[in-house]
Structure 1
Amino acid sequence: MKILVTGATGFVGSHLLKKLLPEHQITVLTRNIEKAQKEFADKVDYLSDLNGLSELNDYDAVINLAGEPIVAKRWSPAQKDKICKSRWDITQQISSLIQASENPPNCLISASAIGFYGARDKERLDEASAGREEFSHQVCKHWESHALSAQSNLTRVCVTRIGIVLGDNGGALAKMLPPFKLGLGGPIGHGEQGMSWIHIDDLTELMLYLLQSPQCKGIFNATAPNPVSNKDFATALGKAIQRPAFIPTPAIALKLAMGEMSELLTEGQFVYPGRTLLSGFQFRFPYIQDALDNLFAKPELCHN
């Protein structure tokens, strides 16, 4: 299969390409070709932008993972605008090119996030649940709308609402680990907020599954079927690295340090992958302790 991938140098994208490269011909869309070449060398083709293209007839599929990291910087108005445009503009451009193609890609897999649902206390959410009007919902709502506009009889669109991705060499764990390794980790605030997570291997396998399953289209929650409270997550992480995990981080401290962005940590949601399971996909790591134990059995995450 000839596949165009955006966001390939990101945390999820780099893991996904390791699985795609042995069997598929990959073109990477990246603003920084020099950086991408250091990672992928001559194993892929490169595009710096889509401006010179009028259609995507040459591609069998597109996987769209591009977007400014949502926790990279404090949410100033300028940063919010960057978060939105980095997702909306490229997705809209891809969909327009698919629509203009006589022989379009037969599949578009486009990332979204469980931020679509907003902060929802202890409510159990699935793909049919409505979103709550806040910044993260607005980001995802328009992101998804642009992707779904590419849907036709010739192109099926799969949108993955991705939860907290747990993996080695980056992602959420890289930001969480330092205090836990020092024995200073613990729950955030009251600790009852939901954490809907997914092991990086399950996420990449889900994307491959959707790519290869012609019956699949629409919205799919990319979260393990057993979300946990923040307190239970902290306990599992402490156990996996053999450190205590009972020192709480006050919500007010995060609010002062991070501003509005702190809501990603102090509030949460319990998201269930209903359509994902109904599609036939099977999770290798449905439980948090198994997922963390697997990750910390790898040399990259050994205690030091």
Structure 2
Amino acid sequence: MRHMVYIKKTKIITSVETLFSWHAANGAISRLTPPWAPLKMISRKGAGIQKGVKVTFRLTLFKIPMIWEAEHIEYQENKVFKDRQIRGPFSKWEHTHKFMADGKENSIMEDRVEFELPFGFLSRPFYGFVRKELERIFNYRHRVLKYDLEHHVNKIKKQRILISGASGTIGSALVPFLRTCGHEVVRLVRKEGMLLEDELFWDPYNGILDLENEGPFDAVINLNGVDISRGRWTQSQKKRIIDSRIIPTRLLVKKMADFDQKPTVFISASAIGFYGERENSVLTEANDMGDSFISKVCRQWEDASMDAQKSGIRTIQLRTGIVLTPAGGALKRMELPFKTGCGVKISHGRQYMSWISMDDVLSGILYILSHRKIQGPVNLTAPNPVTNKEFSKTLARVFSKKVFFTLPKFVALALWGELGKETLLASARVKPGKLLDNGFLFQHETLFSALKDMLGR
């Protein structure tokens, strides 16, 4: 079968020079990779998008791991660059990125992919599937590219930002987002040995963090904390949950206080678990903490950040809701059962779930960085929380399925104990009061649109 061609065009309100240079930024590939794609860049030879640059990805197809290597074979500044597969799953793959000015302030982005599958005529039945997947991928890419360039890039002064927890679900998306918005990011890592240029070693449990020769930083973002949803909450696990949040936060605050030129802002993670079980009550940042284990963890977590405020640093406690991304967290675990028609409503389904899309998490953090009036606790949730019953029905509808099953309360408690009680059965109807009051505009105000975009449906 002859090769096939897929083309996607989008008009973007930005200059062609800005559009082209965005693609050359460190982090552009990761920013454009859909969160559901089984693809991860593992190495790069050369910088930017110049001719001769080689990029290697780890790819998983049908649970089979493989390597995909591409080389840039053409480059014309502000006009075009092209990459070609030199090793990977296709018999042929050539991707042409074309940039066209549409007046002084507008541009046309065109992606053109020529591809051919292996195994000759035996692969004919799969061309339709591949084309459909390309449509999903490039719809996502162009949506993200257009929104970022029209709303985020070059909108605020370039900042130098230190991030802890950069390898987590939020951190791994935040780093390329900030970089493609024009900011410099330094990542705190716990691996020893050869470090990358943007990495800085630390060991918070032994008080090791040398910032004397690394500063100054305009902002510090603290995203540390082990996943609370992994395994039952034994006493040892509870200690890990607390220590992984409190100890790194205290060390960061101490080191920031020692700076002669202190960061202007410190964003420290927390969670809506702060509020505990509140049934149908609408919750804003003014509400008090609950009395659950997670409420007490969040209280200690936020208290650990308070000394930064006393040092004159604008400090934010980021009370994050259920982050929607198939790259990790709750949605990643829910995707397969709901996709196969095996999704469940939990207990009576009346408990509220305060969600937020990953896109709005990233935009919200950037907005907080640039708006000096925002400080203290901030609810990072979408403005329209839903009940578990509505969430389950909506997620099933995204996959053209229905919800036929209910997970009884006693089963959730038997399987997960206190974890199940506080994460699956508790109700928190949280509103993002401070973000709304300060003019933040959400990309995803409704759950259905958020799920469709995050899952590429």
What's the TM-score, normalizing by structure 1? 0.91
Q: In the aligned structure 2, how far is the partner of 1:179 from the partner of 1:45?
A: 37
> 1:246 offset after TM fit, Å?
2.9
Aligned equivalent of 2:187, options 20, 25, 28: 28
Aligned equivalent of 2:203, options 49, 56, 63: 49
Q: Secondary structure at the match of 1:21?
A: helix
The answer for unaligned runs of 5 or more in structure 1 is: 299-304
In structure 1, the partner of 2:153 is none
Contact 2:273 2:298 in 1 (8 A): yes
In structure 2, the partner of 1:268 is 427
Aligned equivalent of 1:218, options 376, 382, 385: 376
Opposite residue 258 of structure 1, the aligned amino acid is W
Aligned equivalent of 1:186, options 344, 347, 356: 344
The answer for unaligned runs of 5 or more in structure 2 is: 1-158
What's the TM-score, normalizing by structure 2? 0.61
Contact 1:88 1:142 in 2 (8 A): yes
> 1:52 offset after TM fit, Å?
4.2
Opposite residue 159 of structure 1, the aligned amino acid is Q
Q: How does 1:1-304 map to 2 (within 5 A)?
A: 1-22=159-180, 23-32=182-191, 42=196, 44-49=198-203, 51-53=208-210, 57-152=215-310, 154-263=312-421, 264-297=423-456
Q: Secondary structure at the match of 2:406?
A: coil
Contact 1:110 1:160 in 2 (8 A): yes
Opposite residue 203 of structure 1, the aligned amino acid is V
Q: RMSD over aligned Cα, in angstroms?
A: 1.9
Opposite residue 29 of structure 1, the aligned amino acid is L
Q: Of the two, which has the highest radius of gyration? A: 2
Q: Secondary structure at the match of 2:221?
A: strand
Q: In the aligned structure 1, how far is the partner of 2:192 from the partner of 2:196?
A: 11
Aligned residue pairs, count = 293
Q: Secondary structure at the match of 2:190?
A: coil
Q: In the aligned structure 2, how far is the partner of 1:290 from the partner of 1:102?
A: 46
> 1:44 offset after TM fit, Å?
2.0
Opposite residue 429 of structure 2, the aligned amino acid is F
Contact 1:57 1:105 in 2 (8 A): no
Q: In the aligned structure 2, how far is the partner of 1:290 from the partner of 1:54?
A: 42
Contact 2:160 2:185 in 1 (8 A): yes
> 1:77 offset after TM fit, Å?
0.3
Hey, which of these two has a bigger chunk of strand by percent?
Answer: 2
Q: In the aligned structure 2, how far is the partner of 1:15 from the partner of 1:33?
A: 23
In structure 2, do the counterparts of structure 1 residues 31 and 16 end up closer, same or farther at CA, with 3 Å as the change threshold?
Answer: same
Contact 1:115 1:137 in 2 (8 A): yes
The Cα offsets for residues 188-245 of structure 1, whole Å up to 9 and x where unpaired, read as: 0000000000000001110011112222211110000000000000010000111111
Q: In the aligned structure 2, how far is the partner of 1:153 from the partner of 1:259?
A: 41
